[in-house]
Structure 1
Amino acid sequence: MAETMQFDLVSPERSLMSAEVKSVVIPGADGDMTAMPNHAPLITTLRPGILRVETDKGTEEFVVTGGFAEIGEGLSVLAERALPRADMDQATYEALVAEAQDAYHQVKETFKNEPGPVDDAAKLLQDMVAVGAHIGLDPKQPSL
């Protein structure tokens, strides 16, 4: 049996997975990274993307919208929102993009002369749009 580590994925609504895994590809805010057993301790923020979990039984995918990942003896992911890739349909995806677009417009109105928060909100929105294209859904093109 290959070397494994404990992995837990939780969102505010529920625990989505708790298992011994071989590796996890994390959509980190600074780029994708792969966590494996004996990885150096690390905490990173998540961007919207696909979390890929490799177990002895195969690969499972989850769509996450943000949150944190903590790598130590194992890996814990605390997602703002997460759902199994199989549960992501066009209507759910469009609702997530609409929510990100609303947040972008609200930040743009609140921070009129502060590009930092507006740029962050625009990146979050574009990352959410990219998730749909990545998983084969019709990408919504929001107006910025």
Structure 2
Amino acid sequence: MATGDTLHVEVVTADRELYNGEANIVDVPGADGQLGILPHHAALLALLKPGPLVIKLNGAEEAIFVSGGFLEVSNNSVTVLADTAERAEDINEARAEAARRRAQERLADVRSNTERAQLQAALERAVNRIRVAEMVRESGGRTRVKMPRSEDYTNN
């Protein structure tokens, strides 16, 4: 339950829950720009774009890549319904880099605006997956402390 200096956060996709807990701040990649959600934030509905979602609690941070989706803020609670999402430590950087290269190579031979838009979206997802993975790798574990996973509490 959220206290005066925290808010409740849930990050889910259609098939799983990635985070369910408290936070002091949530940084979210909104379609119209980066959003910082603090406790007692005004009600809000927003579209998400691909990028890093960072949950901060008492100096600890959890970085999650979201490929897009929706954000709802209401009653000191944040709900993120992501199209797809993965924790930073679960991202396969080599696979993301290969996807980035494929999208860039295919953009050179694009034949339609639809195909161009699809490839640019794939490129954006790959670049942001790499960026989120690098956030954790570059910290060397010093500033990014892994918070408990929600599934750690579901069997109690």
Do the two structures share a fold, i.e. TM-score over 0.5? yes
1:77 to 80, 85, 110: 80
Identity within the alignment, %: 26
In the aligned structure 2, how far is the partner of 1:27 from the partner of 1:34? Answer: 9
Residue 136 (structure 1) aligns with = 134
1:125 to partner: Cα distance: 3.2
* Equivalenced residues, count: 127
What secondary structure sits across from 1:76 in the alignment?
A: strand
Change (3 A) 1:123 1:72: farther
Q: Deviations over 1:52-78 (max 9, x none)?
A: 000136111001111111111110000
**1:129 Cα deviation after fit:** 3.8
Shift in Å at residue 95 of structure 1?
6.8
Shift in CA distance, 92/41, structure 1 to aligned 2, threshold 3 Å: farther
Are the structure 2 counterparts of residues 81 and 98 from structure 1 closer, same or farther at C-alpha, using a change threshold of 3 Å?
A: farther
Aligned residue in 2 for 1:41: 43
CA separation in 2, counterparts of 1:71 and 1:36?
A: 10
Of structures 1 and 2, the one scoring higher in RCO (CA 8 A, sep 6+) is: 2
Which residue identity lines up with residue 13 of structure 1 in the other structure? D
TM-score, length-normalised on structure 2?
Answer: 0.67
User: Considering only aligned residues, what root-mean-square deviation do their CA atoms show, in Å?
Assistant: 2.9
1:9 aligns with one of 11, 14, 19: 11
The answer to whether the Cα contact below 8 Å between 1:47 and 1:124 also exists between their aligned partners in 2 is: no
Matches within 5 A, 1:1-144: 3-56=5-58, 58-73=60-75, 74-94=77-97, 97=100, 101=103, 112=112, 121=118, 123-131=120-128, 132-133=130-131, 135-136=133-134
- How many angstroms apart in 1 are the aligned matches of 2:73 and 2:126? 27
Unaligned runs of 5+ in 2: 136-156
Taking structure 1 as the reference length, what is the TM-score of the superposition?
A: 0.71
